C-alpha cells in the first residue's frame, strides 16, 4: 500500500511541477528492485526509515554503554537517559497501571521511532510517517498486540464480548475492532503528510524572500510540535486500547 500511496503522491507532485519546477514533496524513486518477478522501487521513504532505524540503534548502544559504566556523578548524557526512562515509566504506569511492566518497552520503542520519523523533516528528509505504508504497518503491529493481549488474558471472552450488550450489535462491534488500525494509521499519516505538503508548497510556490526565516517557524510547528503531539497521541491510544482489552 505504501508503494501505491507513493505513486499517487508522486503523480500529484508531477502535476504541480508542470506549473512550477521547484515544487517538491520529496517522493522520489531511487533504485528499482525485482521482487518475485515484479519491479518495485526503493524510495526516499525507505532511505529515511533506514536512517531513523540506524539513529535509534546508535542511540540505544550509546545509552547502554553510558548506563553500564554507571558514573557516581552522572554526566549530561547519563542524566538525560535516566530522565527519559523515568518519564516513560511514569507515563506508561499512569496510563496502564498494573499492565505497564509488560508493555513499557514496546511503547517506548514506537514513541522513539515515530518521534524521530516525524522530526526528520527538520534535517531535510522526508518523514517515513508521511507514507501510509509506514503508519499502517505501525498500526497493524499495535492491533496484533492488542488482540494477542486480549486473547492471553480473556481467552474466549474476546469472542463473546463482541455480542454484548446484545447479539444484534455483533456487526458493529466487529467493525469497531477493525477500525482501530485504520484510525491509528490515518490519524498519524494525515497530520504528518499535511505538514509535508504545506512545507513543500511554501518552498516551491513562494518567492525567495518568503523562504527566509518564516519556514523556521513552520518547521517548528509541523515537524517538532505536531510531531511530538502525534507521537503522544499514537502511544496514548495504544495504551488505552490494550488496557481496555485486558480489563474487559
| pLDDT for 71 | 67
Q: Give the mean pLDDT per block of 10 residues along the chain (248 residues).
A: 40 39 71 86 91 94 84 77 90 88 91 94 89 94 90 77 80 87 94 87 73 72 89 94 80
From first CA to last CA, the distance across the chain in angstroms is 33
Give the pLDDT of residue 53. 95
Domain ranges in the chain? Answer: 71-124+132-247
The C-alpha cell 542524566 sits at 79
Q: Is 40 helix (H, G, I), strand (E, B) or coil?
A: strand
Residue by residue, DSSP assigns 134-187 as HHHHHHHHHHHHHHHHHHHHHTTHHHHGGG-S-GGGHHHHHHHHHHHHHHHHHH
Q: In this predicted structure, what is the pLDDT of residue 157? A: 74
Residue 212 — left, alpha, or beta (φ > 0 → left; ψ -120 to 50 → alpha)? beta
Q: How far apart are CA 197 and CA 158, in angstroms?
A: 41
Distances (CA, A) of 188 to 100, 122, 213: 23, 18, 27
Beta strands in the chain (DSSP E): 29-35, 38-43
Helices (H) and strands (E) in the chain, counts: 9, 2
What does the pLDDT read at residue 69?
A: 78
Three-state DSSP state, 74: coil
Amino acid at each position: 500500500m505504501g508503494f501505491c500511496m507513493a505513486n499517487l503522491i508522486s503523480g500529484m507532485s508531477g502535476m504541480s511541477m508542470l506549473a512550477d519546477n521547484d515544487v517538491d514533496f520529496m517522493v522520489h524513486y531511487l533504485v528499482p528492485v525485482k521482487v518475485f518477478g515484479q519491479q518495485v522501487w526503493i524510495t526516499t521513504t525507505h532511505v529515511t526509515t533506514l536512517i531513523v532505524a540506524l539513529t535509534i540503534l546508535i542511540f540505544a548502544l550509546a545509552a547502554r554503554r553510558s548506563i553500564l559504566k554507571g558514573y557516581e556523578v552522572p554526566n549530561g548524557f547519563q542524566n538525560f537517559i535516566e530522565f527519559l526512562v523515568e518519564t516513560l515509566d511514569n507515563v506508561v504506569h499512569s496510563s496502564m497501571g498494573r499492565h505497564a511492566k509488560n508493555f513499557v518497552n514496546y511503547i517506548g520503542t514506537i514513541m522513539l521511532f515515530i518521534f524521530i520519523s516525524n522530526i526528520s523533516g527538520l534535517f531535510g528528509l522526508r518523514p517515513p510517517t508521511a507514507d501510509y505504508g509506514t503508519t499502517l504497518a505501525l498500526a497493524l503491529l499495535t492491533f496484533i498486540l492488542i488482540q494477542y493481549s486480549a486473547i492471553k488474558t480473556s481467552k474466549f471472552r474476546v469472542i463473546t464480548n463482541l455480542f454484548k450488550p446484545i447479539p444484534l450489535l455483533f456487526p458493529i462491534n466487529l467493525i469497531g475492532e477493525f477500525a482501530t488500525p485504520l484510525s491509528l494509521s490515518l490519524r498519524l499519516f494525515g497530520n504528518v503528510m499535511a505538514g509535508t505538503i504545506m512545507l513543500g508548497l511554501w518552498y516551491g510556490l513562494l518567492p525567495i524572500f518568503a523562504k527566509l526565516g518564516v519556514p523556521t517557524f513552520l518547521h517548528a510547528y509541523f515537524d517538532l510540535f505536531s510531531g511530538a503531539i502525534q507521537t503522544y497521541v499514537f502511544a496514548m491510544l495504544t495504551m488505552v486500547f490494550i488496557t481496555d482489552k485486558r480489563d474487559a
